Amino acid sequence: MSGAWVRLTDAGLGCPDWPGCYGQLTPPQSAAEIERANAAFPDAPVETGKAWREMLHRYAIPFLGLIVLALAAIAIANRDDPFVPLLVPLLLIPLLGLQAALGMLTVTMLLQPIIVVAHLIGGMATLALLGYLAMRTWPREPQILSPATRFRTLAVAALAVVMVQIALGGWTSANYAALACPDFPTCQSQWWPDASFADGFVPWRGLGSTGPADSQARTAIHLAHRIGAIVTLLVVGGIGLLAALRGSHRGMRLAGAAMTVVVAIQAALGATIVLQRLPLALAVAHNGTAAVLLLATVALIVAAWRQA
């Protein structure tokens, strides 16, 4: 959520250096500090609000790192306990290190979209693993493998669809294509406007914070995200509804119901964001709801391996 807030308020370069902010641990505050910062970074004048938003987002990484290290230490200390997974806490350590590196590259490479999206996916993967860890260790009851093999496959498929759609959403945001289609359900008053998918999905491009120069590239990016939304609504909503109605135990049914409701809310938010011209609160909520949908999908995966 904090990353979305930073990105959507154009604060990703609120501090032009890393890991500090204008050479300090905190953003410049006094007139003298601001004057020195502006002299040191003449191409990036101080905007205090943006600088604080960026630094608050950066400060979250060390705190999360301490939590992950504590979880890993607990897992190692209790490695003989069948209720305490060992691999996931250990995987979180390099993943968080990668996230820190991607955060640095996001700044030093001037919001290169492929780096921004990788940073987003890394954050969502961290959330998914933490969610899995919490669900896997609670409640502490004997784990009897469920015979619902079909739901295991479907749950993993739903997770894959959600992650692809999150990546498309990140690509849309990083390329400033959220309003490339300013109307809904049509796009530029057409069902299929001129769009250049080849230009819209160039992995490496010196975009800075301006996005693709070609409006047809932005249109293609937006259309891809809309198509992904339809696929996600049908696939994830369908799997969730099936689990809610046919799940073999209460955990599966609850996870399926949550998936169905949240994916519908997410689709409605996406349409409303376009119609309301990208209001900040709804855009941040759209990112947060994507995270909730991811956790609901992880919950179905956990439930599909558990017979209660």
- The CA-CA-CA angle for residues 85, 259, 139, to 5°, reads 35
* Structural domain harbouring 296: 145-308
Residue 153, Cβ neighbours under 10 Å: how many? 12
Asked if residue 239 and residue 223 are part of one domain, the reply reads: yes
What pLDDT does residue 270 have? 98
Co-location of 92 and 64 in the same domain: yes
- What predicted TM-score, i.e. pTM, was given to this entire model? 0.92
pLDDT digits (tens, 9 = 90+) for 177-201: 999 999 999 999 999 999 999 999 9
Asked whether residue 90 falls in the same domain as residue 3, the answer is yes
Indicate whether 44 and 120 sit together in one domain: yes
User: Is the per-residue pLDDT at 32 higher than 90?
Assistant: yes
Q: Calculate the alpha carbon distances from 110 to 107, 165, 210 in Å.
A: 5, 24, 10
Torsion of CA 303, 261, 164, 120, to 10 degrees: -90
Return the HEC string of 230-286.
HHHHHHHHHHHHHHHHHCCCHHHHHHHHHHHHHHHHHHHHHHHHHHCCCCHHHHHHH
> Where is the domain boundary, 116, 141, 166?
141
Q: Are residues 171 and 308 in the same domain?
A: yes
**Side chain identity at residue 177, one-letter code:** A
Q: How far is C-alpha 184 from the chain's CA centre?
A: 24
Asked whether residue 80 falls in the same domain as residue 114, the answer is yes
Domain end residue (candidates: 89, 121, 141): 141
> Torsion-angle region of residue 79: left (phi > 0), alpha (psi -120 to 50) or beta?
alpha
Residue among 44, 43, 12 nearest 28 (CA): 44
Q: Same domain for 62 and 182?
A: no
| Percentage of residues of the chain with pLDDT beyond 90 | 78
Q: Which structure tokens are listed for 130?
A: 């933490």
The model's confidence at residue 159, banded by pLDDT at 50, 70 and 90, is: very high
How many domains in the chain? 2
- Give catalytic residues, as residue numbers: 54
